[in-house]
Amino acid sequence: MSEASLNEPETVRELADIPAVEVISRAAVMLMSSAAEKLGLADEDPDTSPRRDLDEARRLITALAGLVTASVEYLGPHAGPIRDGLQSLQRAFRESSAHPDEPGKGPGEKYTGPVH
């Protein structure tokens, strides 16, 4: 039996002990972090970042917007900071785009409404 299969039941038990709000929050933070990387925000000059990939950033921001919209009622005090992070990413995407989307057509805006 492989080491991975021996640890699998232990991992499942650990996940069962984690409250849903924490799992959702962790997923949101992972999506935010990845989107920020894809926008080049971790680099000194995002415009010249070798990691910049706006198509990938669009997908991550849209997934984050869907997650936040679907779970906002469960996030309690975490909802505000997560929403703020999402809006910051949506604005950064708009500023990074050579041809910005029309209001309401940007990443995740079908879930959040237009971000200016």
- Reported as a pLDDT band with limits 50, 70 and 90, residue 6 is low
Q: Return the number of other C-beta atoms located less than 10 Å from residue 45's C-beta.
A: 8
Say whether pLDDT at 23 is over 80: yes
pLDDT (0 to 100) of residue 95: 93
Closest residue by Cα to residue 60 from 15, 30, 94? 30
The fraction of the chain above a pLDDT of 90, given in percent, is: 79
Torsion of CA 90, 91, 92, 96, to 10 degrees: 100
d(CA 38, CA 25): 20
* Amino acid 55: pLDDT: 96
**The overall pTM is greater than 0.95:** no
pLDDT of residue 4: 54
Cα Rg of the chain, angstroms: 17
Consecutive H or E run containing 88 = helix 79-96
